[in-house]
Amino acid sequence: MFDERQIAILQNMTVPNTYWNLKSEQYQYWFRSLLQKIDSCLEFKNLPKEWSQDFFLLCLWARGYVAVFESARFGDKETGIAFQPCTLSGYDFYYQPTKAIVSNPLYQKEFEIHKDCEILKLTPDFNGVWDIIDHYATQLAEITKGINVGLINAKMPLVVTADSLAESEKLKKVYDKIQAGESLVVWKDNTKHFDEEVMPRKNPFEGCFMNNYTQTYVVTDLLQDMQTIMDGFYMEIGLPVSNSDKKAHMLNAEAEMSNAQAQSRVSCWVNTLKESMELINSHFGTNLEVEKYEQPINSMDNGEDAQFDGNS
C-alpha cells in the first residue's frame, strides 16, 4: 500500500508517540492491516479524477484534514482544484482556523480559508484516526508475540535427562523408533551395577519433564482474544461483526443498540465530511459526496443468511 514517498511521511510521523521506523515488525504489520481495513468504511464519490486517492486517504486518516484549492499547475484538469496536507494557523472569534499553509517541495503557499481555499476535515476537532489504529495495533502486536512464543513452547513436549552418555544414546534410539512409527519399543539395561542388584532403580534416567498441553498451550485463548480485539476495531469504525457465539441471542432492542454504538463514530466522520464538502462544492462548483460503506449481505446457497466476519 505504501510507496517510498508515503513511507517517508510515516517515518517523520509519531504513531502516536514513537516514530514509525522504531515500532516492532508486529506493530507495523497490524498498523498497515488496520489502515487498509479502515479505507473501506467510507465511500467517496465524485473526487477529481487526477487526485491520488491513496495519498488523499492517507492524509485524511493521518492528519484529519487537507486544504482544497485552485491550482493551474497542479489542479485536476476538469475541476482545476488540488489538495494538500497543510498547517492551520490564525483563529477567528469562535477559535476556528483562518489560514492554511501548504509546504510541498514543489509548492508553497499560505491560503486564507473560505477565500482562497477550503478545509476538508474528517473530525470536528481536526484530528485523524492514528490514535484508534495505534490503540488496536499495539494490542494485536503484543498478542502476536504471545502466540509466537506459545507456538515455540509447543515444540518442546518432552525433556529427559540421562546420567551417562550410554543411557543418552539408548534414549535417542528409543525415540527414533517411536518417531519411525513403532507402536511398541522394549528397552533393557544390560549394564547392571552391584548397587542396582541390591536396590534396582525405579527410573533408569535421572529425570524427565513432559509438557502439559492443557495447562501450557495458551495459543487457542490468545487467538480468541485476538478476534475479540479485531471485533472491537470493526465496531469502532462501523464495520459489521458477526456473533460467533452460538449460545448468545440478542433481542431486537439489544441488536439495535449495538448497531447504533458501532455506527456512532463513523456517523460523526460522515457528517463532518459532508459539512466540509458543502463548503467546497459551493466554493469551487464541484459535487463531492461521501457515504458510509454499506456491506452487502447476500444469501448463501442453502438459504441461510451470510455471515460477515469483518475480514473481507
Domains and CATH numbers, the chain: 4-129+270-292 (2.40.500.10), 158-210 (no CATH)
- 166 φ, ψ (degrees, to nearest 5): -65, -45
Q: Is the pLDDT of residue 300 over 50?
A: no
Highest mean pLDDT among 172-176, 216-220, 231-235: 231-235
The pLDDT assigned to 188 comes to 67
Angle at 34 between CA 33 and CA 39, to 5 degrees: 100
Q: Is the pLDDT of residue 10 over 70?
A: no
Non-local (6+) Cβ contacts of 40 within 8 A are: 239, 293
Cα separation, 179 vs 158, whole angstroms: 13
Cα separation, 50 vs 67, whole angstroms: 16
pLDDT in tens, 13-48: 555 556 667 788 899 899 989 999 998 889 999 999
Q: What's the predicted TM-score (pTM) here? A: 0.73
